[in-house]
Structure 1
Amino acid sequence: MAIARKMAATLLERQTGSKGLPLASFAVEVDLNHDGFPEIFAYRLAPNCDGIQCGNFLFVLEGDSYHEVLGDIPGARLVPQDKIGLGAFKRNGFLDIQTDQITIGWDGTRYVDASTFPASSLDGATFMAACQASKSSAGDADGASADCQCQFNRMHVVGITQAELDIYSASLGENFEYPTGERDAAWQAVQKNAADAATGCAVASGKTQWPAAYFNHGDQPQQKLNFEAFLDACPAQDFILTNHRIGTPDRALGLCGCLAREVPTQGIGQEGLNLLAQYYRNEISDADLEAHDADALTFHDKASEACLSQFPAK
């Protein structure tokens, strides 16, 4: 939360023009697309909030920049904190967000009112038969009808076409010939939507949770540290900004947030973190850093490798 709050303060200053976060404000990291790099949800408190420069904000790193993705939804800024949470289902790779009034879904670039998405009109007889037969053959007959109905209902909502549903239904049987060549990308998209519907139904029924992305963390427990100096220095460092995977201030901020999370799992404590901040400010050299802490650069480089290996593409 300390890392999220520091990152959110930077992003909110740009978004609203207001510096800092009032004491009752907060920020958290939440990985809405389960890629291992969390988005930043922030609540900025202000008296008589107008829903423009205060309230709920959600920042997603897409391409070169962090984008605020709630601003186009009427009333989303002002939803009370106890009336907003994550839904069980994904759309276009991101979890739905549920408020007391509406469901918010990802349209590929931002969150919108899910009721504005077109729904399909589907004949599900073939799918229901194939789904239940598949579950029975896998020894999962109990609750098969309800599970398959839930999946079918979700496929309506996410706009799967009848042709896509039919080919997916066929894939649940034996001797299915999987598409290749130019048809393969379209088939992969159908499979992904169907798999997300199935997982969402299992999550909604309490049978499972969405799997987190693999990330090569260190083996040390996270510590409660002061990340302010490190997160001030890191995004401004030339070797961060000029890395071919980074290249912009927002992507540098995202990487530095990851580094702040990861270096403690490699074994760096507050003294080591302070030394890294000095190193990023060019106040000490590699040799100086190693003289103070022989392991700091090794731990830092392991964290850097882990963060960069799965950093979102531009």
Structure 2
Amino acid sequence: MAKTRTKDSLLRGSRVYLSGPMDFVASRALEKASGWRTRVGQFLRGFGGTGFDPWNKPAVRGMHEYGREGEQTTDARQAWTYKRGRKGAQTRAEIAASFWPALHIDLRMVDTSDFVIAYCPTNVYSVGTPHEILLARQERKPVLFISPYVHIPALEKLRGHLAEDAEGLALLKCLEAQDPIKENLNASPSLWYMPLVGAQHFFDGFGFEPYRSHFRWSKTPLDDTEASYAPQNPLLPFLERLNRTLPKKWHSAKKMFVPDDDWILWDLRPESGGNNVSGPKRRKI
């Protein structure tokens, strides 16, 4: 990866919110320590940008630890109740109030970001991510949407293992219907997201492999998935290009690519006592 932090870098000084599932991931500890956000944050710093990571929220002046989340944050759900009356209402109110600071900080990070990177595997339930995407798009901020390939090799192996076990296969079929366990072998996103995000901003993976040795990233299951299903349109090379030139969007009526005015990256110039906004960064010719 070439040296990229120069005064002409379009991503220099940019702020990027990293949105994606946190609650129902396989391991909150692993996701926080070595998940995709850690890698993308490192990648952005190479261009002089900042990745807003909800696992590692920025400190809030005068409000120590406000909105911080950890591996045990979701434990509060264990106390949830549907009981009617004062006691049930009080319990629900306390649990809801306990998570408000985290929600508040995350949405403020979206609000102050230049664009959003959203990782949305179709097999992981998430509520905060759609909320964050909607907020960004209401403000006409670009959302770079990763919809990865979802392949579950253990499922096929289990079917093979149960090939002669009719009862076991029936139970597996029932489990698939109840969960549901669904693969996504063409990495297609939800149809709802397509007009919301815009057709030009979808990616089928990160494309970590060419950068792993440079950043000394240890191998993770995400790397195994990308090895089996190599992304056709990976995110990281797009970010490298974005650092040099602003992307265009497809105009269906004109049948051509045209400037995309959603890409407003402020050009902040240091001055005594603070920064001065000299205007949005320009497309390089």
Per the normalisation by structure 2, the TM-score is 0.22
Q: Which is greater in Rg?
A: 1
Per the normalisation by structure 1, the TM-score is 0.21
